Amino acid sequence: MKIGSFLDSHLSVLFMFIPIFINVNSKTGRQNADAAFEALEKAGVEIGPKHLTQSAEEAEKLLRECVIAKDKIVIVAGGDGALSMAANILAGSETAMAALPMGTGNTFARSIEMPLDLTDAAAAIATGKIIQVDVGRVNDRVFLNSVTLGISGDIVENLDGETKARLGLLSWPACIIPILWGHHALHLKISSNGKSFHLRTHQLIISNGRYLAGPIEAAPDASLQDSCLRVFALGNDWRSLLKSTFLWVIGRHNSWKETHYFTAKKLCVESRKKVIDADVDGELCESTPLELEVQTGVLHVLAAQKFGSDN
């Protein structure tokens, strides 16, 4: 449903200004706030109030107030971390999230086919449609894109914001070589679909939606509306790590038995040797054991009008 038609069908609701959230504690937020406001206003999106937040706690409090006030749409300008934080508050409510991409990978924005250029994204928001998408839940936290264990967690722990801002997507490969040198494979137990198996791997990935790390896909046929999580592993030794990563990049990892690729609605991941921190949408915020499930259609999102047109 387009914003215009949405308004026409809800004449009883006073809906003239859309709240916008920007984390000005991040360098990108500080630098691009004015450009974001200008792009939205030029596209005909009336914004306000403008929440320039200093912390996740402040943003969460204000988002809860939007839910209580039954705001129809809120705009969250930022990267995947900001959108994931907002989804934790908005999932299960009637308030829709409009994503204005201002991050490094912008994985979720790609999944809803939102343009990555600010001007084009603002135009897409002005003409967008409200859809319902799945989210994942890990323990008590919602995630939009993925939960990973292994090398990715070490990268997140060692990657600083300045490097990400300077190198963008190239910051990940720049950081990975010294981490790979000293990384030890994880020993995991995975339970799902009525079965359990033990797994030795350098990287476990549980994905919701098509895109996983910027433009890299979890699976070509994955979507935010298919009611399942994609689970796969990358390598139990250096040879298989290199091969499975290459197959993943070219989209053929789901056909190689050593990736243990499968889909699930629920699963449990336990570490056999030690507690392991999990990367949840780019943040180390959960630890093993992990209870994961997909929650179907619980998040309302303003997607680009073209979303789903090729499906």
Domain count for the chain, please give it: 2
98-128 as b/e: b if 16+ CB within 10 A: bbbbbbbbbbbbbbbbbbeebeebbbbbbeb
For range 159-180, the mean pLDDT? 56
Three-state secondary-structure class, residue 174:
helix
3-state secondary structure 201-221: ECEEEEECCCEEECCEECCCC
CATH number of the structural domain spanning residue 203:
2.60.200.40
Residues 291 and 148 in one domain: yes
Res 78 pLDDT > 90: yes
Residue type, 72: K
308 within a domain of the structure (yes/no): no
First-to-last C-alpha distance (Å) of the chain: 17
Res 90 pLDDT > 80: yes
Give the pLDDT confidence score for residue 180 in this predicted structure: 59
What is d(CA 307, CA 128) in angstroms, rounded to the nearest whole number? 9
Residues 114 and 205 in one domain: no
Tell me the percentage of the chain whose pLDDT exceeds 90.
61
Tell me the percentage of the chain whose pLDDT exceeds 70.
85
Res 255 pLDDT > 60: yes
Residues 108 and 184 in one domain: no
**Cα 247 from chain centroid?**
22
Domain carrying residue 60: 3-135+299-303
pLDDT in tens, 126-159: 999 999 999 999 999 999 999 999 887 777 665 6
Give the pLDDT confidence score for residue 12 in this predicted structure: 28
209 within a domain of the structure (yes/no): yes
SS3 content of the chain, % helix, strand, coil (to 5): 35, 35, 30
90 within a domain of the structure (yes/no): yes
Res 1 pLDDT > 80: no
Band (pLDDT 50/70/90 cuts) for residue 236 is confident
Give the pLDDT confidence score for residue 121 in this predicted structure: 97
Res 170 pLDDT > 80: no
